[in-house]
Chain A
Amino acid sequence: MIYPHRDRTRGGYFSDLTLLSLCLVIGFSTVGCDRETKVDIATREKILLLGNGGEPKALDPHLVSAVGDANILRATFEGLVTFHPEDDTKNEPGVAERWEPNEDFSEWRFFLRNDARWSNGDPVTAHDFVYSYNRILHPEFAAPYSSMLYFLKNAEKFNKGEVADFEDVGVKAVSDFELVCTLESPTPFFPDVVKHTTWLPVHGPTLEKFGTMTSTFTDWQKPGNHVGNGAFRLTDWRINAYIKVRKNPHYWDTANVKLNGINFYPIDNTFTEEKAFRGDLLHYTYIVPSNLVPRYMAKKDPNLRIETYAGSYFYRCNIMQAPTDNVDFRRALAYSINQEKIVKFVTQGGQIPAYGFTPPSDAGYHPPDVIHYNPDKAREHLKKAGYKSGADVPEFTIIFNTLDSHKSVAVAIQDMWKKELGIDKVKIENQEWKVYQQTVLDMKYDIARAGWIGDYVDPTTFLGIWRTGDSNNNTGWGSPDYDRLLRESSLLSGTDERYAKLAEAESILLDELPVLPIYWYTRVYLIHADVKNWKPLLLDNHPYKHIDLQRHTDLQRDEEGTE
């Protein structure tokens, strides 16, 4: 078998044996001297060392949906529109130089730059995008997250096999450099949508060199074979060890790319990652274990960053069975959760108590301000639900996927319901990740912990999942009024009117409470002072071409201290 990505000269294990004896000798003799650390060397060579959570499922943009996977794809591919380095509500030109909608935002024209190149030198054309959208929507390919493209006319029907000809799907290459997308309904935020990984292009000739357009098991995504169109190209990949990308000389804007490369390290264990940062092996950690955050905050560690993130942490209620089928009972549960206490004493990562479901965004959408801790109101609703006291409430269970932080939240809430409402028959149960997913899907739960991260900056990415029968709904809840408001909002082109409609819909959601909002996520991570231009972003989608590495000297540190 051939492993083209295995760097035998450097990554070999037996060479490490000899290296070790050397290290021991050198190590002992240089203790106390100022050694250049791995991070120092990487900064000098302008290689960014990123901790990236778990091992990616694939490096094929059409096969993944996880955040960590997207982080790598953002380096190796570029979409029509790309991310702004400082503001996720703004759009930067990617392969498309500019774009324009028709009057009612139901048709978008993208004008592609003619100097965009694949990493093998081939030009990137509008046909590549049509090919890619055909692939991800193709029923035989069965891309797990193809529904992101259902914005295109007939895309859903084609994906389900109801429309056989891709010609009927609303995407056309008018010329090599002009792409027209015809949509199901007006979508003023469409440029935000096409930034998502599912809308990235793939290189057809490379796919077909190693298989067919719709085959999932080919070698095309391996180093040496891989062709992308991003600022960086894939050079090495070893499972559970590293993924390396280096500057792509064919990238149209390569002159403005500051880094020479990025090494992504898939470190599942968050404690290991944090130690790797302290041991000067990483510029950046994907996360900080929540129980270490207070310690970092206490010593005011300059490397710690806590930033708002477009994600919502909540509990799903099963609407189809007692006791959670009763709306007043759900209200009682929601109003007796002391969210402030949870973020302050349990999660401890600067999270924000969720007064609604959709996290407030810089783009101007604010959810109705409804859910606040109010034990008196909660007790009133409990009475209305027909319970004289909490002791009459039948036994029910909170399930969560096995993770200590979810457990702590569940225990806290169990305690709050007991204290405020007198409900003493709440059980908590952890389930292994896949079991939990299946349980939620089959709706065999009473209350289930959940989280939702926005795919783009628009409230519809949060509110869309509560439409009747949506595949992510899984509560049994549905409201004709809610569905109608969402539908009506999609026909409006004025942002303010649209947001007003969506807020109206959200107030129905927050009144009937198929979900109990708990908090809005924050991104908590460590970043080395050498990393420049890494700005807080709502969706955390950092375009790497703007990132730079410069030695942060002690002098600079002192200056900052005196400011």
Chain B
Amino acid sequence: METARYILSRFGQSAFALLCIITITFFLARLAPGGPFLDDKAVPEHLIEQMNRNYGFDKPLVVQYGYYLGRLLTGDLGPSLGNKGFTVNEVIAEGFPVSFMLGICGLIIALLIGVPVGVFAAAKRNTAVDYTLMTIAMLGICLPTFVIAPLLGEIFALKLGWFDVAMWEDSSAWFLAALTLGLYYSAYIARLTRGSMLDVLSQDFIRTAHAKGVAPLKVLFKHAFRGGITPVVAYLGPALAGLIGGSFVVETVFGLPGLGQHFIKAATNRDYWLINGTVTVFAVLILLMNFLVDVIQAWLDPRTKTK
């Protein structure tokens, strides 16, 4: 009962946050100078006015906002102003799977690298191995993706010829993109794993296990690992959202048609409906991930609810 009430209240919070995000985005996009119909070559005033009429931009902003919310409820995100002939729904339906796949693959790579490195470093704590691994991880966190991505492309695609350096169709460039994202997040995960493993390893039941003469490896994996990995699990939700939303750089560097590119281009093109659409999708994604993580944590650890 208590759990149900907690879940309901968290859901209510998320829904309210979403409404705020949608509202703020709508008005912020309109406040930005310039407009969707400005072009390289000047467009005569009378045509801009007509275009505004065609798209309903001549009505008061609040009225437009009302229409927009109404449309949103029916799932219609409106037409894209920068990709004429496409609706925002179509643009997102094409772009989202690309970003989603990059995010999932990136996350898998991050876990495959980050968790073992973290566990290993924790087991060898305060040794040269530990310091070396953590220094590399720190470097990984500091090196931005726009440095790693071109570097991977230059080495693995152009020098070694193992992958294609760009593009989507019939191209393996997406793997380098996923690898870039994975490497970046693996550094976080390694440090997170190491920290929480150290926490667990210093607890009494581990000392008891050692005292009983349990093999060190068994202590590490059987006794400590389950507790040590929990914070990483909690981090997965936001990490996945961040991976999917933050793939703009790798999508640009490898020329991939994901949602990240639309997210940025929509803003620079003043493609109002696409700005709102992409922000809404990312907001839903992040809120959903956080909501799920909270629910799972509440279920795993009843103390969370009262916090």
**Which A positions have Cβ atoms within 8 angstroms of B?**
1, 3, 6-7, 10-11, 13-14, 16, 19-20, 23-24, 27-28, 31, 35, 38, 55, 57-60, 63, 65-66, 139-140, 142-147, 159-161, 216-222, 238-242, 265, 267-269, 271-273, 275-276, 278-279, 281, 432-435, 437-439, 441, 471-472, 474
Contacts and interface: CB of A to CB of B under 8 A. Distances in A.
Interface stretch (B47-55, B66-74, B116-124, B224-232): B47-55
A276 B168 contact: no
A275 B153 contact: yes
Interface stretch (B5-13, B135-143, B254-262): B254-262
Contacts of B261: 240, 268
Interface stretch (B57-65, B155-163, B283-291, B298-306): B155-163
Nearest to A27: B162
A503 to B, nearest CB: 24
Main secondary structure of the interface of A (DSSP, over half): loop
A60 B34 contact: no
B82 interface: yes
Given A11-B168, A471-B44, A474-B42, A275 B158 contact: yes
Nearest to A57: B84
Interface of B: 32-35, 37-48, 50-51, 54, 79, 82-86, 89-91, 93-95, 97-98, 101, 150, 153-154, 157-158, 160-172, 174-175, 252-258, 261-262, 265, 268-270
Contacts of A147: 44
A144 B37 contact: yes
A239 B41 contact: no
Given A160-B46, A241-B168, A438-B35, A63 B153 contact: no
Contacts of B154: 275
Nearest to A19: B172
B39 A281 contact: no
Given A239-B91, A240-B256, A435-B33, 18 more contacts: A10-B170, A13-B174, A20-B172, A23-B162, A59-B85, A142-B47, A142-B54, A217-B84, A219-B85, A267-B166, A269-B253, A271-B150, A275-B158, A433-B34, A433-B268, A434-B268, A434-B269, A434-B270
Nearest 7 CB-CB pairs, A to B? A434-B34, A279-B165, A58-B84, A142-B50, A240-B257, A471-B42, A241-B257
12 contacts: A11-B168, A20-B172, A60-B84, A144-B39, A145-B43, A241-B169, A241-B257, A271-B253, A272-B252, A275-B150, A276-B167, A281-B164
Nearest to B38: A437
A203 B85 CA distance: 16
Contacts of B257: 238-241
Contacts of A435: 32-34
B84 A241 contact: no
A139 B47 CA distance: 7
B50 A139 contact: yes
A206 B136 CA distance: 60
Contacts of A239: 83, 86, 91, 94-95, 257, 262
Given A57-B83, A65-B40, A272-B253, A144 B34 contact: no
